[in-house]
Structure 1
Amino acid sequence: MTTKLYLMRHGQTRFNLQGRIQGACDSPLTELGIEQARAAHAYFVAKGIAFDAVYSSTQERACDTAELASDRTDITRLKGLKEMDFGAFEGQQEYLNPPLQPNIGYGDYFVTYGGEGSMSVRERMGKTVTDLLEQHPGQTLLAVSHGAAIAQFYRGVLQDPPQVRLSNCAILEFDYEDGHYDLLSIYDPVNKENLYSKD
C-alpha cells in the first residue's frame, strides 16, 4: 500500500532575508514568505491534493507555513522535523558557514560549537518521517520542515539523491511503500517550475 508524502520547506523568514544562519533559533515569516506559502496552497488546490494529516516542525516558521499551505489549523508538531542546530553560529551571518561537502553537508563542523552533526540530523529526520508514514498507510500527508533537515533526509533515504538547492516552500513529492522511498518531483510553487523530476 503506497503512502504519499509531500515534504515541504518553510517560507522566507526575516533571517533568510538578512542572510543569517537559522537553525534552532527562529524568526517570523516575511510578507513574501506568507505569499510563498499561499502559492503552495494554490498548487495543492489546483492539483486536487487533500491531506489526511498535516505535520510540521515545532518551529514557528514551519508551523505557520503548514497552516497557510494546508488551510488547516490541526497541525501536529514534531521536534524530529526541526532544523539542524548550528550551535554558537545561530543568528550569525551565513558567510561564516564552512563549505558544504558533497552528499554530507557540514559534517560534524558545528558539533564543536554546540550544534548538531549532519549524520545526526539525517538519522533524526529519517526516523521521524518513517515513523509518521508507518502510522498512515495508504494516506496522503503534508510535512513542513527546513532546508538542511530535508536535504539530510533525502540523502539518507535515496540511493542517488538529486543535487538541488531547495527554494523556500519547495515541495518534494514522495511515494512510500514497504520501507522504500521514491522521490517523484521537487516543485517550486512560487516560480511554478520543477526543480527535479524523476521522468
Structure 2
Amino acid sequence: MVKTLYLMRHGRTRFNEQKRIQGACDSPLTDEGISQAKAAAAYFEAHQLVFDEVYSSTQERACDTAELASGRTDYIRLKGLKEQDFGAFEGQQEYLNPPLQGDIGYGHYFVTYGGESYMDVRLRMDQTIRGVLDQTKAETILMVSHGAAMAQFSRHVIENFPKVRMTNCGILKFNYDGTDFDLLAVIDPLNHKIIYQKE
C-alpha cells in the first residue's frame, strides 16, 4: 500500500523572531505563528485533506502547530521528529552559526559542542518516519517537525532534492511505497502556492 506523508514545519516562534538558534531548546509560537498554523488548517480544509493519523515532534512549537493545523488533540508525540541539537550554541544568536556546507548543512560542526551531526539527524528522522509508516495502516499522515531536521531527512531519502527553503508551516508531500520516498510537492499553505511539483 502506498502511503502519503505530509511533513510540515512548525509555525513562527519567539526565537525565530529574535534570530536565535533553536534546536533542542524551545520557544512558543508567536501570534504570527499561531495564525500560520491556522492558515495551514484552512489550506487542508480547502483541499479536503483529512489525516488518518497525526504525529508531532515532542517540542512545544511543533505540538501547538499540529493541534492548530489538524484541529486534533489525539496526535502522537515522537522524540525522533525533534529538531537538530545544536549543543552549546542553543539559544545563541544565529550569526554565530558556521557557514553551511552544501547539502549536509552544518556537517559535524556541532558535535564538538555537545550537539548532533547531520548524519545523526538523518538517521534519527529516517528511522522514526519509516518506523511509523511501516507499522501503521493509515494511508494519509501528517507529521509536524522542524526546518533542519526536515532538510536532512529529505536529502537523505531523495536524490537531487530541489533547492527550496522551508518556510514556517511549509509542507513536503511524499508518497512512500514501503521502500522508497517519492517527493510529490513542496507546498506553501500560507499563500496557497506549490513551490515545487514533480513533473
Q: Trace 1:1-199 onto structure 2 (pairs within 5 A).
A: 1-137=1-137, 139-199=139-199
Q: CA deviation at 1:131?
A: 0.6
Q: Which whole-Å deviations, capped at 9, do the CAs of 1:56-79 have from their partners, x for residues lacking one? A: 000000000000000000010000
Aligned-partner residue type, residue 39 of structure 1: A
CA contact (8 A) 2:53 2:138 kept: no
Q: CA deviation at 1:158?
A: 0.6
CA contact (8 A) 1:36 1:190 kept: yes
SS at match of 1:103: helix
Taking structure 2 as the reference length, the TM-score comes to 0.98
Q: CA deviation at 1:138?
A: 5.5
**Greater alpha carbon shift after TM alignment, 144-153 vs 158-167:** 158-167
Aligned-partner residue type, residue 96 of structure 1: L
5+ residue gaps, structure 1, are: none
Q: CA deviation at 1:195?
A: 2.0
Runs of 4+ in 1 over 2 A off after TM superposition: none
Q: CA deviation at 1:117?
A: 0.3
Aligned-partner residue type, residue 152 of structure 1: Q
Equivalent-residue separation in structure 1 for 2:123 and 2:89 (angstroms): 22
SS at match of 1:169: coil
CA contact (8 A) 1:2 1:137 kept: no
SS at match of 1:91: coil
Equivalent-residue separation in structure 1 for 2:106 and 2:161 (angstroms): 17
Q: Which whole-Å deviations, capped at 9, do the CAs of 1:30-89 have from their partners, x for residues lacking one? A: 000001001111111111111111000000000000000000000100000000000000
Q: CA deviation at 1:136?
A: 2.1
What is the number of residues matched between the two proteins? Answer: 199
Q: CA deviation at 1:197?
A: 1.3
CA contact (8 A) 1:4 1:138 kept: no
CA contact (8 A) 1:21 1:94 kept: yes
